[in-house]
Structure 1
Amino acid sequence: MCVNVVQFVYSELKDNATEEEIKLLLDKACSLFSGETRQKCVNMVNTYFDMLVSLLTQQLSPDQICQAMGFCASSKQVLSVHPGPLPEGHTKKDKSGSECDMCITVVQYVYSQLKNESTEEEIKEFLDQACSFFPEESRQKCVNMVNTYLDIIVSLLIQQTTPTQLCQIVGFCPNSKKMPSSVHPVPQPKAHIVKSRSGAECDICINVVQFVYSELKDNATEEEIKQLLDKACSLLPWSSKQKCIDMVNNYLDMLVALIIQQLSPDEICQTLGFCPSSIAASPVVTSASHFSKQGIPKVTFGGECEICKNVVQFVYNEMKDKSSEEEVKKLLDGVCNLFAEAERQECVSLVNTYLDVLVPMLLKKYTPTQICQSLHLCPNARATSLPSAPKNVSPKKMADPDPECDFCQSIVKLVHDELKDEKTEAAVKKGLDHVCDLCPTRQKCITFVNTYYERLVSLLLQEMDPNLICKDFLHLCSEGPRGNFECTFCNYALHFIQNQLVDNVTEARVQEVLDKLCDELPEQFAG
């Protein structure tokens, strides 16, 4: 019907026809139909009169006009934003609701108006213009839709998203439930993003989408994509986790739809407004020209442990006496450029994963070994410096690496080193309350501290060695050959007495502390 009406108007149209003359021709066209078809034609003309006039004056073909208004499926594409065809996909009106119909009609109209290399401002003008063609009762709904999703719609139009796809992405039309069978993970940038983009939200968004693509299988369902988005947030450092959860919750349907469209991570995050569209995808580490080329060796072996130590050492070599947090981050952003190509990606991933933990530890001047062991990128010294087994000793007798013991010792050592000379109960508790912020496995750390909190406070106040605390008092380290009970007891007793006496070293006070000692003994010394 639509095509026949437009063809009739063109056949009767004179040069320089006025709007009134076009209106008369449209009415005349409808009179050629009978019954219900005539009434449908009249309704169409009344509803879309302004749009029809605009499209007719541009001398678009009948097919293009009826496709732009959503009455015909698009067998060939409407004009594109940039040279070349629109992405494949039909533009037939979705019958699932008025919002879907309205959205598709608006997008089709904009595509019909666009010229090659149209600007964002021109696209926005066409969107405003599209709403003016709707009947009064629908016009405000159209305006609200455009105002709410303006930046996203413009971004998707520039990317030549089909009308149906675009309206699915912004939530006005239902999505298909399956990923296309041809979906394969989008090729990843050569380096992951590490705080070199335009803000934390951009970094989080890019990393989340990259993770989803890396885990995505062919024919993944929407539900599977949503599960991967949830999982992605759980893998981020604690400081970024809540931002990630908020982002996924607020943009879940759009994220799923954009991933289904197979847009790249940069395109998705630009579309959602988390990254500026003017910034092209680029490796994290942009330029290292201002860094000392002798600051770090070209690592060719040793894995994560060696890379971690070299990263930390490089930062220390370049740091000033009172470097700020931003200066340390800048050094971390540049360090991976100095690695050999084979290790560069691993370096970028390491910095990306542990950035929020590395910065405070570097500012506190922990040694490279301490930092990398606390991140569990290097084995604890006790697991790497074991002596060779004597020839007459079975290998089974040798001590094995003990993850629980290593974890305990790294946490206790962090608090112990942080306290320095301030061994008050308040300082110890403060150290325990904040130590998990420096730990990449934060939840495990919190569970550990909560479980042993009171005992840790007591033992740290006695200035006990972290190894003794974990092995002899918390029993988290394998026994190996049994230690000397008397020696351990003596060490504990001396620490306790020294802390109790302070400067009041009188005979009466010593006796009082000795009497108190037996009541304060840990359970392994009691009885």
Structure 2
Amino acid sequence: MARPLILGLLLSLLGLLAAAVASPVLWQKECSKGPEVWCQSIRTASQCGAVKHCQQNVWNKPAVSSIPCDLCKELVTVAGKVLKDNGTEDEIRSYLEKTCEFLPDPGLVSECKEIVDSYLPVIMDMIKEELDKPEVVCSALALCQSLQKHLAAMKLQKQLQTNKIPELDFSELASPFMANVPLLLYPQDKPKQKPKASGDVCQDCIQLVTDVQEAVKTNSSFVKSLVAHAKEECDRLGPGMSDMCKTYISEYSDLAIQMMMHMKDQVGEQLACGDSLLVVHPLLLKGL
């Protein structure tokens, strides 16, 4: 669940907006800096007269997968269908404001909703034009982050830490919460084994879920230790992302454990081994 620097980007946006309110001349100076400033959100793009430019050249680029971004795209897709079926402006506003609630800070939630209210007609036009690209709208709402910027930031951070430019290790972006489960359950070293057939791996997955359920029931400190280990892994992601990672773990770890504890044998086998992996997605949405 560890993903992009959404919080840091939006805080920077708030600072720029405050400066703009204080001095229109200063804001014009900010606009002279180009797309880096224009395309931070629908508000900055509107104030700099660059909505179309950002829509066609910046917000349509691949975005980093994150909980706020992914759920935003889900709701914007629904909003697009409602709009296509002649839905009312209030209905669209309701869906868009719901996306704002995925932000981790109440102040940012309020700011996001204010942007929705202030620029709803512009956003609705964008939804109509980008029905098959909900990430454009979510980037305009600053809920999705550019993948290119994210990778550049990761490389820069590693360069600053190691004084060289290493290759990006995508394994570091894996969920730290689940990555630590086997370590806590089976801490002893074991000899390496040959790769298993898919059926064996599937059964190992089911056994892992069973062992987690048993550990939660019999070891009162297991969940606490698991969460602590996961948060330690977040520190490897660097400033900004580390805090966001820890926020998501704090917010969703209880839900993840609850879902795992309620998995029956047949359900666990279906989720781990069958063709119904996508069943997890609506469950997560319901839990949110």
Query: Do the two structures share a fold, i.e. TM-score over 0.5?
Result: no
TM-score using structure 1 length: 0.23
Greater gyration radius: 1
Which structure's relative contact order is higher, taking Cα pairs within 8 Å and 6+ residues apart?
2
| Larger helix share, 1 or 2 | 2
